[in-house]
Structure 1
């Protein structure tokens, strides 16, 4: 049985158990009313049963429980010989009216829930189209990624990442759009499209950075409000990892340097000479500095956005990424990011003031198996 099926079955069992509560209430209230003195009337409390049912069930089940409550009310009246009395008839009418109102509210709630589910499904599909998941293997590299959006109910925001093979090797980008929300998502989506197009057309990382700068500047000029000119930009880190050379080449456009994790359990942040962020019109390919670092088998690069290291705990302390990662240097990328994600969520209390993204890249020395023919 799959995890989904187990969860579905467990939810069904829980729903059936909860349904016993209103049924038990109907029985208890009925018995209590019958055995109580004649001057104590408990029948009106039967309306609690359909009200509780509507909390977790649909209109049909709620209406059925309401009908059962009315039958119990009628039985109480019949048992006391007052079924056709004005008092009992008024109680029956009130119970029927309240049960009908509860059913109507349940219908409206279910309709809104279905509409929300459809909207959420479309939004999730759109987000997955904008931010493709990274492949787990590219050549001799193993990759894993984590994205934690600051906006509730969102899967992506203003952070971005992508990876693609080029004649020069595997190229990776991670970036952070200034701001968050829908404008940041638009800029992130545009830059990802520009990267996927330009990654195969530029021989070096400086040329790639220049191409992204020109594309993003045109986009900002055409689509961003004029009163925000110069205030919209994207920090980005570009990587190039050749297959036949144990190095990694990096260009930082105002972005944080990654952590380099070696098998000897050393954690270091390479010194980078960052160029200006993309979109401000100052990224000149001729002035971009390419950092070249050793990247041997079993080495791991941990890329991240500032939302990770700027996450605060209740005391306002920033998340100490380098110190925490030093405990898990030997972990494969997937396990490493699971540990970091869990630890980061615990540190921040599950809430972030900014989007947070991480990528772990390990050189394995083993080629990924060829893709199956389709």
Structure 2
């Protein structure tokens, strides 16, 4: 499921609800016409031809798509139509009509009961989904559209159908004169990773606002994450062998300097788009993933790259680069990115994800997050 935090259309849910209501009205109107048509058709058909048995069809359609209330009204109208057709032929008390009438009533009751049960289930599911979405939005907050001189857009997909948050994460924080952004990938995927995701994001938000230098911020993040992830390990041995960790990249973009500083903790390199060329910003000495800092000492020294006005930076997780096509080939981000139209971050994110779905030709098997940044000219 795709979640567009910044560039998705506002009011999409309201328009979708309006479309469903319009569909229900159309189905109800068509069903009513079919029901009324039965006694009318009987006026012109030979006595040995009966069409009353089709009355159950519009009742089923209305009950299935328009709900139990309209289904009940359709059933009542169908019964009246059957009685009218029988009166036209002076056959209301015949055995055949009585059997048809009893069958129509019985089937209609069953259809309405089924529709009532389905509607109750849909309401419960909708309520649970609203609660889930509210909780998930608290964990993975929408990124701001602007931060200092930067324009920002993002897209997210969870491996669990219907979920908005999984094992991939991102967050933005402001300092006095710079923007800091975290993107990461918790080991695992889907809702099973939600606890670890909350731990990492909470640690970053708490540390980023203390105005510490970037190396100290990442060191603080490592300590918090190692302590927090240990809580999710089932046994002390699992924590000792590093079964839980987070690959992450922390970037800092000063407001008044044409550079970007990157600390990579085992994460994929950011992609720089400059004057139609795409370049991977490979960090020379990446640190271990967050949570594994005890296995190898690191100073978390940032690598610095040019980032001028008009340049765009694309941060992403391996759900993008490891998406496979029908032949098993990975998505060639570096090859595709330079040729994609992307005059602004929202367009770049939209085109990358559209191209990715065209490459995969089906559902993606992992969580995926993409964040695009552009410095103002």
- Give the Cα separation in 2 of the matches to 1:9 and 1:330: 32
Q: Bigger shift: 237-246 or 108-117?
A: 237-246
Given the alignment of the two structures, is residue 343 of structure 1 paired with residue 352 of structure 2, yes or no? no
Alignment of 1:63-78 (within 5 A): 63-78=72-87
Given the alignment of the two structures, is residue 352 of structure 1 paired with residue 364 of structure 2, yes or no? yes
- What is the deviation of 1:334? 1.3
2:278 to 258, 264, 267: 267
Q: 1:229-266, CA deviations, whole angstroms, 9 ceiling, x for partnerless residues?
A: 3211100001111223221111110001101111x222
- Give the Cα separation in 2 of the matches to 1:286 and 1:112: 53
Are the aligned partners of 1:144 and 1:359 in contact in 2 as well (CA < 8 Å)?
Answer: yes
1:248 to 260, 263, 286: 260
Are the aligned partners of 1:252 and 1:274 in contact in 2 as well (CA < 8 Å)?
Answer: yes
Q: 1:6-38, CA deviations, whole angstroms, 9 ceiling, x for partnerless residues?
A: 655554443332223323332444455555554
- Consecutive unaligned residues of structure 1, counting only runs of 5 or more, are 366-374
Q: 1:300-335, CA deviations, whole angstroms, 9 ceiling, x for partnerless residues?
A: 111111111111122222111122210247611111
Are the aligned partners of 1:265 and 1:329 in contact in 2 as well (CA < 8 Å)?
Answer: no
Q: 1:169 to 1:225 in 2, by over 3 A?
A: same
- Give the Cα separation in 1 of the matches to 2:299 and 2:17: 57
Given the alignment of the two structures, is residue 53 of structure 1 paired with residue 62 of structure 2, yes or no? yes
Alignment of 1:42-121 (within 5 A): 42-121=51-130
- Consecutive unaligned residues of structure 2, counting only runs of 5 or more, are 1-10
Q: Bigger shift: 356-365 or 20-29?
A: 20-29
Q: 1:149 to 1:194 in 2, by over 3 A?
A: same
Are the aligned partners of 1:151 and 1:157 in contact in 2 as well (CA < 8 Å)?
Answer: yes
Q: 1:283 to 1:145 in 2, by over 3 A?
A: farther
Are the aligned partners of 1:206 and 1:286 in contact in 2 as well (CA < 8 Å)?
Answer: no
SS, match of residue 314 in structure 1? coil
- Give the Cα separation in 2 of the matches to 1:213 and 1:330: 34
Q: 1:362 to 1:283 in 2, by over 3 A?
A: farther
- What is the deviation of 1:346? 2.0
- Give the Cα separation in 1 of the matches to 2:201 and 2:175: 16
Q: 1:191-249, CA deviations, whole angstroms, 9 ceiling, x for partnerless residues?
A: 00000011133632222222111111112222321264321110000111122322111
Q: Bigger shift: 80-89 or 267-276?
A: 80-89
SS, match of residue 296 in structure 1? coil
- What is the deviation of 1:40? 4.4
Q: Bigger shift: 8-17 or 18-27?
A: 8-17
Are the aligned partners of 1:158 and 1:176 in contact in 2 as well (CA < 8 Å)?
Answer: yes
Are the aligned partners of 2:63 and 2:115 in contact in 1 as well (CA < 8 Å)?
Answer: yes
Q: 1:130 to 1:252 in 2, by over 3 A?
A: same
Q: What's the TM-score, normalizing by structure 1?
A: 0.90
Look up the match of 1:370. none
Given the alignment of the two structures, is residue 140 of structure 1 paired with residue 149 of structure 2, yes or no? yes
- Give the Cα separation in 1 of the matches to 2:228 and 2:21: 50
Given the alignment of the two structures, is residue 169 of structure 1 paired with residue 178 of structure 2, yes or no? yes
Q: 1:70-123, CA deviations, whole angstroms, 9 ceiling, x for partnerless residues?
A: 112112222222212333223212211211111111111111111111111111
Are the aligned partners of 2:288 and 2:296 in contact in 1 as well (CA < 8 Å)?
Answer: no
Look up the match of 1:327. 339
Look up the match of 1:300. 312
Q: 1:40-59, CA deviations, whole angstroms, 9 ceiling, x for partnerless residues?
A: 44323322221121121121
Are the aligned partners of 1:168 and 1:240 in contact in 2 as well (CA < 8 Å)?
Answer: no
How many residues are matched? 364
- Give the Cα separation in 1 of the matches to 2:136 and 2:326: 31
Are the aligned partners of 1:210 and 1:283 in contact in 2 as well (CA < 8 Å)?
Answer: no
Given the alignment of the two structures, is residue 130 of structure 1 paired with residue 142 of structure 2, yes or no? no
- Give the Cα separation in 1 of the matches to 2:121 and 2:192: 27
CA RMSD, aligned part only?
A: 2.3
- Give the Cα separation in 2 of the matches to 1:244 and 1:325: 27
- What is the deviation of 1:144? 1.4
Are the aligned partners of 1:207 and 1:285 in contact in 2 as well (CA < 8 Å)?
Answer: no
